[in-house]
Each structure stands twice: as C-alpha cells, then as structure tokens.
Chains A and B, each alone.
Chain A
Amino acid sequence: MSGFSVALTLTNLMWCFVGVTLGTAVGVLPGIGPAVTVALLLPVTTKVDPSGALIMFAGIYYGAMYGGSTTSILLNTPGESATIITAMEGNQMAKRGRAGPALATSAIGSFVAGTLATVALTFVSPLVVDVALSFGPPEFFALMVLAFVTVSAVLGESPLRGLTALFIGLAIGLVGIDNQSGTARFAFNVPQLLDGIEVVTVAVGLFAVGETLWSAAKDYKVEESLIQMSGSIWMKADDWKRSIGPWLRGTVIGFPFGAMPAGGAEIPTFISYALEKKLAKNPEEFGHGAIEGVAGPEAANNASSTGTMTSLLALGLPTSATAAILLAAFQQYGLQPGPMLFVNSADLVWGLIASMYIGNLMLLVLNLPLIGVWVKLLKIPKPQLYAGILIFATLGVYGMRQSAFDIFLLYVIGVLGFLMRRFDFPTAPVIIGMILGPLAEAQLRRSLSISQGDWMIFLQKPLSASLLVITALMVVGPWVWNKLKNGSADKNAKH
C-alpha cells in the first residue's frame, strides 16, 4: 500500500504517463521490440530521480509491449518471438476486416493479464525474497548458471548457437576494468573500453541497427502490406464472451513461466494457443483469425513478462532481453535488484510495483482510444522510417557517455546483429550474458574465496548442487534422449 503513495504523486504519475506514451510510440515502429524500446529510451531518464525513472520504465515497458502487438496485428511483423502467435492469428483477423476487435482483445487481454500477474507478483516476490535472503554466493551462482543455460540452450532452436551467443555476451561483459582486482581486461588501452561496453550500445546495435541493415540489404524485395483499419475498434458482446476465458487461462499459464528463473515468453504463448484451439467450439477457425487465438497468447505473453519482473526484482536475475536492460537501468542508479533491494529500498520497489498497476490502467484508458494515431506511425515509408530510427539510435547511444567512439562501436555491433540474423543465432542470450556475466563472476569468485579455491563448494551445498544437476540434465538430457531414440530407430530399421 505504501507503494501507491510513492506512485500516486503527481510527478510520478506524469512520468508514468510519459513512459506509456513514449513506449507505445516507439514500440509501434516495425522491427522495434520492447527490448530496444527500453534501451533507446534509457538515456531519456538519466536526469530523472531513481524512483521517477523506474516508474517511467514500467510505463515504457507496458507501452512498448502494447505498441508491439499493434504492429504484429496490422503488419504481421512480430518484434520478438513471444508475439509470433499474436501476429499470425491477429493478422488473419485484420485481413477479414476485424482489425479493431483484434487490437482491442489484445489490449484488454494485456490489461487483465498484466493486472492479475502484478497481483501475483505482489504476493509471490516477498516469498521469493524470504528464500533468497538465505542464499549464499554458491546458490546464487548455481541459479545464474541455470538461467544462462535455459535462456540460451533449452529454449532456442539450436542449443549450440544459443550457447555461442551467450558466451559472446559473456565475453563482451568482461571488457573493461575488473571491479575486484582493478585489472584492465580486453580494453586494448582504449580509454572508452576501460569503462566497459554499455548494454544500451549492444542492445540498440544488435536489434535496431542490425534490423536496419537487414531490412535494407535483405528485405528490399518484400513489400509489407499495412492493413487499413476499418469499422469499429470495439468488441461486440460475442467477442467479449469468447475472450474472457482465454485471457484468464493465458494469465494462469503465463505467470509461472515468467516467474521461474528460466525465462522464455514464447512457450506459454504456444501452450495457450494450443489449449484454446482444443477448448474452442469451432477449432477450424484457428489459423483464419479466431479471437481466442489472439486473446489467450497475448494474455500469456503479458503475464509471463510481468512474471519475469519477479525474478528480476526478487533474485536480481533477468531472464529476457528486456529484463536485462531494465537491470542496467537499475545499475545506472547504483541499485542492484535482488533480495537486498526489498530490504534496503522497499519504498522504491513497492513504488515501482504500484506503478505497474497504474501503468497498465493508463495504457488502457489513454491509449486504446488513440489507436488511430499510432497506426499512422506505421504509414511512414521505409527509407524515412529507418533513417529516423538511426537518428534515435545514435542519440540514445551518444547520450549515454558523450563519446563518438560509441557510435562506431554501435555500427560494429549492428554488423554483428546482421550476421547473427543471417546465420540464425539468437540475440537475447548476448544481452543477458553481458549483463549477468559480471554478476555471475562476482558470485563465483566470492564462493571460491569462501571455500579457499575448492570447487566442491558448489556440490556440498544441497541447493546449489541440485540446481547444477538440473542444469546438467537440461543440457545432456535431450542429447541422450535423441541418441536413445535414434538407436532404437536404427534397430527397428534393421528388422
């Protein structure tokens, strides 16, 4: 409750509103997902006090998610993998002249899921914090290893490319002066590298610049067709009746997935879609624009990303690219998310959580009627759109450190993003690796100095041992399973 007294001050309400509006405006641009939106807008908050800034971020985050689903539905260009389903089914609805209800069900569904998931977050995080307060360095390190592996190896298409991306991120995170010993690592005497590489530069480079290069050099043949909005944006009584169930089920599926320190909002959206198809009276409508297929996955996506905030706030563990950038936002103010944050800066945390409720409501009340304005942003022709995105990208990156060096770095990372897209490497693990890597290294070194260099410490503590065993099973398990399956298939073939 005390959180609302923080969030409901006039200034903070204003920051929340600015955040929601900016987030939607940037998030609606094609190819710009929530992670880049947050990264691009990070410098905007440098001059704002911490609680105001973080509250603004809650707004940006929700606005970006909402803007992203708008683009998915009208252009069929999902900004991130968690909106693939929304894009597919919602675009079908839009093609049949039902763009309005599709946008409305995703907006209201996001509101319902976001609010319920924030309630869950409010009650679950203190429990997680209580447990996490008893964690020592070995437990935290094991937890981070588990998060690394699930995010990069288990959830993607190719564990090999996912892990490569993760370790490239970890390598980027190593650049700069080592906090504990003062050794300069991989900085090549370049002063700008001694301070390390900004996560904003990497995120904006990989996503926004990489996307611009890709769009110019690879997508030149593809003509995107923006679907015209026609008819009412409001849902009919029947649409409401068909949406409420999927919203609630999506929330229930999504939140636990996000709250686990494993991440991945894609899986709950797929599960929700499959479930709704099974429960539907007319499953043949799925794939041709069934409103349940938009409502459920969109709610699951939103509940899951709210769940992600549980691991971020209570454990200090970001499990999505967006959460990793939010972690960087906290670090900008010298704050380290994790159980101690609830103890030391309770006001700030609860203010942030309260503003998540408010941001969600604000989004619905203020933004839903503005949908026509946002759609206009989609009509900007490609050359001017991407040229404009580059201006914002250089602004964001230059604004962080006032260094032209960072613009060249931004370009180099953009080329990396282009290549990663060309060869189908996932990019989120890079961001998570670079931001979580230094934290994992600190916990690793702390653990080993407690044990005086004995690695067995990780196996002697029951919790860290079981976390590491789970991690090992997740990496080796599928591989062994495949071998066994192929082995028996070979045998069958011989008969």
Chain B
Amino acid sequence: MASPETRKGRTGQIVVAAAVLILGILMAVGTLQFPEATGYAKVGPRLMPAIVSGALILLSLMLLKEAWFGGFKDVDEEAAAANPTNWKAFAWISGAMIVNGLLMVPAGFVIAGIVMFVMAARGFGSTRWLKNAGIGAILAAMTYAFFNYGLGLNLPAGLLPI
C-alpha cells in the first residue's frame, strides 16, 4: 500500500474520481424526480438513468479506491508533474472561446472569429497582433462567404453589412 507522501501527487486523481461520484449522485437524485412507469409497459423514463447513475457511482468508488491506493493503473504522475500545465495559455484559449460565444450573435461570425483567432494565437505565444488579426479576418471571411452563400448555412452577420 502506498504511503501518504506518495498519495500527495495523486490529489488530481482523487478529485477526478470524486467528481464522477458527485455526477452519479446528482443523476440519481434527478432520476427520482422522473415519473414512474405507468400502465402496461412496466418500464419508463426512469430505468436507463437509474442504471447509468448506479454504474457511475459504482465506477467512481472503484476509481477512488485506485487513486487512494497506488494511483490509476498505468498513469504516470511523476511524468505529469515534470510537465506542469501552462495555465496562462489555458486561460487564453478559454477566454478566446468564451468571448467567441458572447460575440457570435451581437457582433457576427466574422468579428467573433477574428477576436478568437487573435486570443487563441496569443495562447500559443504569438504576439503579432496585427498579423494574426489579418489572417483571422481572411480565414473567417472566407469561411463565412463559403458557408453562407455557397452552402446556405445561416451564419450571423452581426455588425458587418454583409
């Protein structure tokens, strides 16, 4: 059995297993709100969610046990620790997508695309803002034209008179 010191490196695994457990429990609670099966069929909308939530709870407990005693099978936590997550890059990419979602309808596909392109490229360390904005503009405009006019897909024009 692993000693407490080595368990320290596996906090992440324990959190993951706990998250699956919480998901399972929440689903089980939700399942109880569904109406019971009625009439001839004997089975209703409850059955499958009950099976899935039950399985998730069971699997999460097994994952928790693995994480607690020795760690997930074949997951090398030392290698993971040697390659720390670049949270700043992660945040730039996250911001890029969230801003895109916020801008999509009011500002339109092309503008939302340009902003996302510049922010995502920044996440990968590129600070040539103008050049990236230009590339993003060409790419977004071309996709917009192709899908909107060529294929009849309804993309938002937003602020641009296109």
Q: Given the complex of chains A and B, what is the CA–CA distance between A140 and B100 in angstroms?
A: 42
Q: Given the complex of chains A and B, what is the CA–CA distance between A175 and B75 in angstroms?
A: 31
Q: A198 on the interface (CB 8 Å rule)?
A: no
Q: B73 on the interface (CB 8 Å rule)?
A: yes
Total A-B pairs, Cβ < 8 A: 210
Q: Is there contact, CB below 8 Å, between B120 and A181?
A: no
Pick from A174, A221, A399, A444: contact of B49, CB below 8 A. Answer: A174
Q: Given the complex of chains A and B, what is the CA–CA distance between A407 and B102 in angstroms?
A: 9
Least Cβ–Cβ distance between B158 and chain A, in angstroms: 11
List chain A residues, Cβ under 8 A from B87: 217
- Also in contact, A178 and B45, with CB within 8 A (given A158-B74, A391-B140): yes
Q: B154 on the interface (CB 8 Å rule)?
A: yes
Which of A276-284, A447-455, A465-473 interfaces with chain B? A447-455
Question: Nearest CB to that of B48 among chain A residues?
Answer: A441
Q: Is there contact, CB below 8 Å, between A216 and B101?
A: no
Pick from B47, B55, B132, B155: contact of A399, CB below 8 A. Answer: B155
Q: B2 on the interface (CB 8 Å rule)?
A: no
List chain A residues, Cβ under 8 A from B44: 181, 183, 445
Q: A240 on the interface (CB 8 Å rule)?
A: no
Complex interface residues of chain A between 384 and 421 (CB less than 8 A to chain B): 384, 386-388, 390-392, 394-395, 398-399, 402, 404-405, 407-408, 410-411, 414-415, 418-419
Q: Is there contact, CB below 8 Å, between B90 and A217?
A: yes
Q: Given the complex of chains A and B, what is the CA–CA distance between A72 and B105 in angstroms?
A: 38
Question: Nearest CB to that of A442 among chain B residues?
Answer: B48
Q: A38 on the interface (CB 8 Å rule)?
A: no
List chain A residues, Cβ under 8 A from B96: 387, 390
List chain A residues, Cβ under 8 A from B104: 394, 398, 404, 407
- Also in contact, A395 and B86, with CB within 8 A (given A47-B153, A387-B120, A423-B72): no
Q: Is there contact, CB below 8 Å, between B34 and A445?
A: no
List chain A residues, Cβ under 8 A from B139: 388, 391
Q: Given the complex of chains A and B, what is the CA–CA distance between A415 and B126 in angstroms?
A: 22
- Also in contact, A158 and B73, with CB within 8 A (given A174-B52, A423-B13): yes
List chain A residues, Cβ under 8 A from B35: 181, 183
Q: Is there contact, CB below 8 Å, between B154 and A402?
A: yes
Q: Is there contact, CB below 8 Å, between B60 and A164?
A: yes
Q: Given the complex of chains A and B, what is the CA–CA distance between A382 and B126 in angstroms?
A: 9
- Also in contact, A44 and B90, with CB within 8 A (given A164-B60, A217-B85, A390-B97): no
- Also in contact, A216 and B42, with CB within 8 A (given A384-B132, A391-B139): no
Cβ contacts A to B, 12 pairs, < 8 Å: A158-B73, A167-B56, A185-B45, A217-B90, A220-B125, A394-B113, A408-B101, A410-B97, A424-B74, A441-B48, A445-B44, A448-B41
Interface residues of A (CB under 8 A from B): 43-44, 46-47, 157-158, 160-161, 163-164, 167-168, 170-171, 174, 178, 180-181, 183, 185-186, 209, 212-213, 215-218, 220-221, 381-384, 386-388, 390-392, 394-395, 398-399, 402, 404-405, 407-408, 410-411, 414-415, 418-419, 422-424, 437, 441, 444-445, 448-449, 452-453
